[in-house]
């Protein structure tokens, strides 16, 4: 019984000290993260990456809308979706098109 009590006391002390050390480390990491997010260079780079991602998304949509896959979908649903036009009806796509 005494051994169990000593084990529980040691576990409790380890938990308390570990929690305090963990909280200090967490606070240090959060401070560093906030500094990085407040950096103007990070904001500028984030904006550039977001603009590039939007551009690539638009290019991908355009490529897909003029593909054989779009033709199959258009003909399968029977609606003739206006967003998908038939200008590039004979376009061939390979596995490396994306």
Region of residue 84 (left: phi > 0; alpha: psi -120 to 50; beta: else): beta
Residues 14 and 50 reside in one and the same domain:
no
Region of residue 50 (left: phi > 0; alpha: psi -120 to 50; beta: else): alpha
Residues 67 and 33 reside in one and the same domain:
no
Q: Please tell me the total count of domains within the chain.
A: 2
**Cα separation of 73 and 79, whole Å?**
10
Residues 2 and 50 reside in one and the same domain:
no
pLDDT value for 75: 63
Residues 23 and 57 reside in one and the same domain:
no
pLDDT value for 84: 47
pLDDT value for 67: 79
Domain span at residue 16? 1-38
Residues 58 and 20 reside in one and the same domain:
no
Residues 49 and 4 reside in one and the same domain:
no
Residues 50 and 78 reside in one and the same domain:
yes
Q: What is the pLDDT of residues 9-31, one digit of tens each?
A: 888 878 777 777 777 877 888 89
Residues 12 and 29 reside in one and the same domain:
yes
77 neighbors 84 (Cβ within 8 angstroms): no
């Amino acid at each position: 019984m005494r051994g169990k009590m000593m084990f529980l006391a040691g576990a409790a002390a380890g938990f308390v000290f570990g929690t305090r050390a963990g909280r200090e480390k967490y606070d240090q990491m959060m401070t560093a993260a906030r500094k990085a997010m407040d950096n103007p260079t990070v904001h500028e780079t984030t904006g550039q990456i977001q603009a590039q991602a939007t551009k690539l998304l638009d290019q991908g949509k355009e490529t897909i809308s003029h593909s054989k896959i779009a033709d199959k979908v258009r003909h399968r649903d029977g609606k003739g979706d206006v967003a998908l036009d038939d200008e590039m009806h004979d376009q061939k796509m390979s596995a490396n098109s994306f």
